[in-house]
Amino acid sequence: MNDTKTTHQDRRAPLEISAEEIRRLGYRVVDIIADELADPARRGVYPPPQSPERMAQQFGGPPPEDGMDGDAILDLIRDELLPASPNYCHPRLMSYVSSSALALPGLIEGLVASLRLYPYTWTLTPGSTEIETTVARWLGQMLGFGDNAAGYMATGGTGANLMALVAARVAKAGWYVREDGIAHHEPLVAYGSTQTHACLDQAFRLMGLGSRGLRRLEVDEDFRVRVDVMDNAIAEDKAAGRRPFCIIANAGTTNTGAVDDLSALADLAARHDLWFHVDGAYGAVAALSPAARPLFKGLERADSMAVDPHKWLNVPYEAGCVLVRSWDVLSRAFTLVPEYLRMADGHDAHDHWHHGWELTRGDRALKVWVAIKQIGFAGLTAMVDEHLAMTKRLAHMVEDSDDLELMVKPSLSVCCFRFVPPDLRSDTPDNGYLDRLNEETERVIQQAGDGLITGTDLNGRRCFRPCFVNHRLTQDGIDHMIALLRRTAREADARLRSR
Ligand SMILES: Cc1ncc(COP(=O)(O)O)c(C=O)c1O
């Protein structure tokens, strides 16, 4: 049989395709994107339920022996992958801290990947290096951290917070942590609140400090950390021979958008000689708004902060950023130069690979730079102002209604409330009925896919927590979701009571 004589060489698909073919396939990719964005509500947020067998049939199996035609691959992506993916372009997406991706920064990602743009050394990649440097400086200026911030683009808030904590430990441990590690030294501890994002626990685990090394302290009725409690905790740890090294403040908690008292925490950090880190992954972008800016007083005194352009700035994933006061902070924590990377022409302070723990990474800053260039400071501020106004309107509407209950006055763009049937609006114990009712409502709404609102637990009570950061969100969309929520809750109430 002829086949037996066919070698791998004969059967290989070409590694290179012609410029014409690149154009044709590229336009097809753009068409898929444009078709989705032309009518972003055409698919629900949640994909229809899929069986593991079907997913395995479409995307699994052994590695293919022969290459597949580019058009067939694009068909598979359009016809099978997209319907099995959430629609995060949806105009009624108001879940978690979920935004849509701006179109041009999204398209730029294809260019970054195809042409391998990346920040490395100044000599080799001066453009990408300057862009990352500029994005850090712009974010620092725009959010009131400072005019000359240094920074590094991480994958997201988890990475940015981890990097800040690693830098804080190097700066404040009091011994050579990078070389000597942490064994045989006093336990290092840091301070946040019960509302601090779980990624900080992750950071403590990864740093070998254990999640107990992060002291999660009590909050007040507005979910802001109690500074007096933190002061006492620091004193107790010192007295017990532990080594406090960092205070972690929230500039917009995930649960409620609470902003800690940054000035008071900056004072506390200064008094105890601790690093002062601010997690603004979600909320710091609110500082663009003149109305919200006073909440962030004290941010200008932070040693480091995390901010996520892939959240409220609507930049495509992955884009988190850690900001610090000088490049030295990062290079002292991360630089590592093996002989095979030593450059003949020496090193420049702006060689970006000194400033993080990764060596090769794509240009994550370009999409942020494009978003800020294209929309501008004024356009981004207007978007944030609009989201803050929408949140206030929703909170007022909830307060005025007889079947919704506000859990806490919103600080930023999260509004926590729950459905309470009018006959249950009293302080009498409900044996968890309202939790069950709100959770059931949430489940049904999510499955309906007609937009997305998610929930949380506040003081042990289940509630909804719409979060407005999506640039496609409209007031009509919010009204639609609240009407849907009420309708669904009333039906769930009738169902649960009839059991
Ligand atoms: C306050 C805060 N910090 C950190 C994170 C983690 O960010 P990422 O999901 O980008 O890693 C989040 C995510 O929602 C957050 O809201």
* H-type alpha helices, 173-261: 177-180, 198-206, 227-239
Cα 212 versus chain centre, distance: 24
- Answer whether residue 193 is part of any domain: yes
Pocket of ligand 1 contains residue 99 by CB under 6 Å: no
Tell me the CA–centroid distance for residue 472 and ligand 1, in Å.
21
Q: Are residues 198 and 272 in the same domain?
A: yes
State the Cα–Cα distance between residues 422 and 419, nearest whole angstrom.
9
Residues 228 and 355 in one domain: yes
The reported pLDDT for the residue numbered 97 is 97
CATH code for the domain of 410:
3.90.1150.170
Residue 193, pLDDT score: 98
Mean pLDDT of 70-81: 97
Q: Does the pLDDT at position 5 exceed 70? A: no
Closest ligand 1 atom to 280 CA: 1
Backbone angles phi, psi at 250, to 5 degrees: -100, 125
**Helix H or strand E encompassing 324:** strand 320-324
> What type of residue sits at position 464?
F
> How remote is the CA of residue 160 from the centroid of ligand 1, in Å?
9
Do the domain assignments include residue 102? no
Domain shared by 291 and 417, yes or no: no
Please give the distance, rounded to the nearest whole angstrom, from the Cα atom of residue 23 to the centre of ligand 1.
Answer: 37
CA–centroid distance, residue 307 to ligand 1 (Å): 9
* Dist. CA 309–CA 495, nearest whole Å: 42
- Who's near 113: CB < 8 A, 6+ residues apart? 362
How many structural domains does the chain have? 2
Helix, strand, coil fractions of the chain, as percent rounded to 5: 50, 10, 40
* 281 CA distance to ligand 1 middle (Å): 5
387 shares a domain with 343: no
Are the C-beta atoms of 248 and 277 separated by less than 8 Å?
A: yes
Q: Does 207 share its domain with 254? A: yes
CB of 312 closer than 6 angstroms to any ligand 1 atom: no
> Phi/psi at 98 (nearest 5 deg)?
-105, 125
Q: Is residue 105 one of the residues assigned to a domain?
A: no
Pocket test for ligand 1, best of 202, 204, 308, 411 (most atoms within 8 A of CB): 308
Domain that holds residue 387: 376-497
Looking at residue 365, its pLDDT comes to 98
C-alpha closest to that of 418 among 483, 487, 485: 485
Question: Is residue 199 in contact with ligand 1, taking CB distance under 6 Å?
Answer: yes
My answer on whether 215 and 140 are in the same domain is: yes
In the predicted model, what is the mean pLDDT of residues 430-456? 92
Output the pLDDT for position 334.
Answer: 96
Establish whether residue 279 lines the binding site of ligand 1, counting it when its CB lies within 6 angstroms of any ligand atom.
yes
pLDDT at 341: 80
400 plus 278 within the same structural domain: no
Q: How far apart are CA 265 and CA 231, in angstroms?
A: 9
Say if residue 322 is in the same domain as residue 469: no
Ligand 1 atom index nearest CA of 158: 11
pLDDT digits (tens, 9 = 90+) for 19-41: 999 999 999 999 999 999 999 99
Q: Is 412 domain-assigned?
A: yes
Q: Are residues 422 and 290 in the same domain?
A: no
**CATH number of domain containing 226:** 3.40.640.10
Ligand 1 centroid distance, CA of 3 (Å)? 54
Domain closes at, from 363, 389, 415: 363
Coil, strand or helix: which one is 487? helix
Whether 83 maps to a domain, the answer reads: no
Q: Are residues 385 and 278 in the same domain?
A: no
Q: What is the pLDDT of residue 2?
A: 47
- 22 lies in a domain? no
| Residue 3 pLDDT greater than 60, yes or no | no
Q: Report whether pLDDT(160) > 50.
A: yes
Domain boundary among 304, 336, 363: 363
User: Does the pTM exceed 0.85?
Assistant: yes
Tokens of 481: 């979701």
Map residue 248 onto helix, strand or coil: strand
Question: Are 132 and 165 members of one domain?
Answer: yes
